């Protein structure tokens, strides 16, 4: 297996044993980027020189016996809505096309402190609003498993980069499924931590009460290693959980014997692809064979997840995106007659159609006479989602279901139908609304050879249980070992 196709854990082992250097590993990823990027288009910015400098520093530190972390010297990609000093942070939007932040996001600082090698910033749906990366204001990313299909979104660039071997790990952000949904469509592990577990300082806000940064990896062990780097309290984020994060690698091998797995009846609904349902039910049987106990639970508010999410998220987006007006930073349209004209023309030219749609929906939901009817009811509904999960977890330890209703869909298939696109996140949004940690792992393939994802949800701040459960499944199956044909090209 080529170096870029290794898991991060295996690559780190080679580095520690002296079988390869960080420079060799980084060069291998950069060569893969050069070869496949014209077809995949995962990166907005490739930081080749900076990455090689970081790799040399990692090799020098290792030679001196200074090991900053188990992932020191391992290449990682960062979604382009996380600020990085002296590198563009565009959010894949024309309104920020030339914006270079003066500081690093906390997660980027932690990657650097761990000695990891950032190879580039990845494409996304503009301001993380979308489920296919077709809403990027710059270009469309392609799924490495089938270049005619979407990689998912909004973290489609990060998932495509890892699936294609352009990086061994990546960071994404998840507001309504934007880590888990593309991880499912690209055959990867994607973890949305509990809200507050990972600092949002330096993450460009979409919906502040829903956004969460998390790892996109090839295995549960890789996700645990990356969570050990990025998790934990940050005084710069007022919503950061004040308690220290645990070591997520401890307990990975405990297995699932006696684990109570809840299967919500609402997750097997009309419209779910039969191949997805079959793969998930087969996964349930696999867990039973490993000693877990499956039982039906109910999440009765789940049918209201999409409308609740698109009220709360768009309302917060309309407020957060008001700052992009041409007066402070980013795009400014010249030749305006007055400041109001400049505001209007800058936003009209700088924002794409989906971002404009969500700003208008959110502004309407917050407007006088409609605030109580929409946004306030959305907030109350979120409380009901939280209670549903609390009741379900009285009967089980982990909730299991499909990550997405279908495998990867064709590019162009849903982009002109917002409702169909929004329904791609029907199984993922409840965890965001309630704040619970949730993870997607590969659990099978369609007849067309496309990955299918299994979603696991745990009680608040119990990411360790998710990773332990996912790791046990991986030890009994080979789905996580498969690689996209493009990556092997």
Per the annotation, the verdict on 240 as an active-site residue is no
Burial class (CB in 10 A: 0-12, 13-18, 19+), 219: buried
Find the helix or strand (DSSP H, E) in which 283 lies. Answer: helix 274-289
Residue 253 has which token pair? 């091998």
Cβ–Cβ < 8 Å for 192, 183: no
Residue 193 has what DSSP assignment?
A: P
Task: List strands edge to edge, sheet with 398-402.
Answer: 43-46, 117-122, 75-79, 169-173, 213-217, 189-192, 438-445, 451-457, 398-402, 260-264, 293-297
Q: Cα–Cα distance between 84 and 45 in angstroms, integer?
A: 11
Q: Cα–Cα distance between 261 and 253 in angstroms, integer?
A: 18
Q: How far is CA 84 from CA 93, 106, 166, in A?
A: 16, 9, 19
List 7, 22, 79, 132, catalytic entry: 79
Cβ–Cβ < 8 Å for 248, 224: yes
Closest C-alpha among 417, 421, 416 to residue 406: 421
Per the annotation, the verdict on 192 as an active-site residue is no
Residue 267 has which token pair? 């997750």
Cβ–Cβ < 8 Å for 179, 202: no
264 three-class SS = strand
List 154, 173, 199, 240, catalytic entry: 154
Per the annotation, the verdict on 154 as an active-site residue is yes
Strand pairing report for 398-402 and 75-79: unpaired
Q: Cα–Cα distance between 61 and 58 in angstroms, integer?
A: 5
List 69, 92, 155, 178, catalytic entry: 178
Q: How far is CA 237 from CA 79, 165, 201, 204, 242, in A?
A: 19, 32, 5, 13, 10
Which sequence positions are flagged as catalytic? 79, 154, 178
């Amino acid at each position: 297996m080529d170096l870029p196709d290794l898991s991060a854990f295996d690559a780190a082992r080679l580095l520690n044993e002296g079988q390869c250097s960080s420079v060799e590993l980084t060069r291998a990823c950069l060569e893969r980027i050069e070869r496949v990027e014209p077809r995949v288009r995962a990166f907005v910015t490739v930081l080749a020189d900076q990455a090689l400098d970081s790799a040399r520093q990692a090799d020098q530190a290792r030679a001196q016996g200074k090991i900053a972390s188990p992932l020191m010297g391992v290449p990682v990609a960062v979604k382009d809505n996380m600020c990085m000093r002296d590198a563009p942070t565009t959010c894949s939007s024309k309104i920020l096309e030339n914006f270079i932040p003066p500081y690093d996001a906390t997660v980027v600082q932690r990657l650097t402190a761990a000695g990891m090698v950032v190879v580039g910033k990845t494409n996304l749906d503009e301001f993380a609003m979308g489920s296919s990366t077709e809403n990027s204001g710059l270009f469309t990313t392609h799924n490495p498993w089938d270049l005619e299909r979407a990689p998912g979104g909004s973290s489609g660039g990060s998932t495509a980069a890892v699936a294609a071997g352009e990086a061994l790990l990546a960071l994404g952000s998840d507001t309504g499924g934007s880590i888990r949904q593309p991880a499912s469509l690209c055959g990867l592990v994607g973890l949305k931590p509990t809200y507050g577990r990972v600092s949002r300082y330096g993450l460009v806000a979409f919906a502040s009460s829903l956004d969460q940064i998390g790892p996109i990896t090839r295995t549960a062990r890789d996700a645990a290693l990356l969570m050990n780097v990025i998790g934990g309290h940050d005084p710069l984020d007022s919503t950061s959980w004040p308690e220290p994060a645990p070591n997520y690698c401890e307990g990975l091998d405990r297995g699932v014997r006696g684990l109570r797995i809840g299967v919500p009846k609402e997750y097997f609904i009309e419209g779910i692809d039969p191949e997805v349902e079959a793969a998930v039910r087969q996964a349930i049987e696999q867990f039973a064979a490993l000693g877990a106990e499956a039982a039906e639970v109910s999440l009765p508010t789940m049918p209201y997840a999409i409308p609740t999410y698109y009220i709360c998220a768009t309302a917060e987006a309309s407020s957060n995106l008001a700052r992009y007006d041409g007066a402070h930073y980013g795009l400014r349209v010249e030749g305006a007659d007055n400041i109001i004209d400049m505001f209007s023309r800058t936003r009209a030219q700088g924002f794409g159609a989906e971002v404009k749609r969500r700003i208008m929906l959110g502004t309407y939901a917050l407007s006088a006479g409609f605030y109580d009817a929409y946004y306030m009811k959305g907030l109350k509904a979120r409380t009901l989602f939280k209670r549903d999960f609390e009741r379900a977890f009285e009967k089980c330890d982990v909730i299991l279901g499909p990550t997405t209703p279908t495998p990867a869909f064709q590019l162009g298939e849903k982009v002109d139908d917002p409702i169909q696109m929004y329904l791609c996140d029907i199984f993922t949004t409840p965890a965001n609304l309630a704040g619970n940690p949730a993870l997607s792992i590969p659990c099978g393939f369609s007849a067309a050879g496309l990955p299918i994802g299994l979603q696991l949800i745990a009680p608040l701040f119990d990411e360790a249980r998710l990773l332990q459960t996912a790791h046990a499944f991986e030890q009994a199956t080979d789905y996580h070992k498969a690689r996209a044909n493009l990556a092997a090209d």
